[in-house]
Amino acid sequence: MTAEVFVTHVQVKLNRLDTNAYEDVRPEEVIFFANDALKLLTLGLDLGLYSQIVNKPAIMVYMADLIKIQPELALTDNKVALPASVLRLKGLEAFVVIESESGWMDTRAQNNENNPDRESNTFLKSYPDTPNYRLIDGDIKFETQDNWNCTKVRYDYLAVPTEITDASTLVYPFMEELEDKTVTLILENLEARRLQTQPSVSKS
């Protein structure tokens, strides 16, 4: 299916659901939201959220092409930048150096909330055998102690799918789902626009 045909399918579905939406949506907007929809569907497939998609062999081939292995990357001050191609980290190991010992260790992701109990809470504290990391401004940042640190990482990840353009040929094994997700995102965006343009009502 060409991108042009995909856009037409999405516009037809929009027209069926909301006749006012069809005229407002340009082809480039459909492509924009299709890329967001593709990322969301890919993440959902990786997390096993779309079990109703029955063409499992084709899905497995699609997903296998997006799962990449990142060789060792050196850390500077316990952190390193993530490439833009990373959509989701799947597995992450850190090379931990503690006194005269070192080795590869599994890691544990932490949220980015400021938590004053992080160092005292045994369930939140970072340990050499399972160092905590956080994702901050596109960086992997490890929480370490004075007597140990992390010097490098290696990981496998789900890559960002190839961007859809107006010249693309779309051959995904979930075309119907991609169309529906694109329509949903467009309608949500249109509804948000309408709410923003509604006049505010004074309560006084």
CB 180 within 8 A of CB 170: no
pLDDT digits (tens, 9 = 90+) for 68-113: 999 999 999 889 999 999 999 999 999 999 988 999 999 998 876 6
Which residue type, as a one-letter code, is found at position 144?
T
User: In which order are the strands placed within the sheet that holds 148-159?
Assistant: 67-74, 148-159, 86-98, 101-106
Please give the C-alpha separations between residue 146 and each of 38, 77, 80, in angstroms, as whole numbers: 43, 12, 19
The pLDDT assigned to 17 comes to 81
Share of the chain above pLDDT 70, in %: 85
Q: E-assigned strands of the chain?
A: 67-74, 79-81, 86-98, 101-106, 108-109, 132-136, 139-143, 148-159
The pLDDT assigned to 203 comes to 45
pLDDT digits (tens, 9 = 90+) for 43-53: 999 988 877 77
3-state helix, strand, coil in the chain (%, to 5): 35, 30, 35
- In total, the chain counts a number of residues equal to 204
Q: Domain ranges in the chain?
A: 3-53+174-196, 67-159
Q: Is the pLDDT of residue 122 over 70?
A: no
Range among 6-15, 48-57, 191-200 with highest mean pLDDT value: 6-15
- The SS3 call for residue 198 is coil
- Alpha-carbon distance of 4 to 2, in angstroms, equals 5
Measured torsion, CA atoms of residues 10, 189, 59, 2, in degrees rounded to the nearest 10:
30
Q: What is the pTM of this model?
A: 0.81
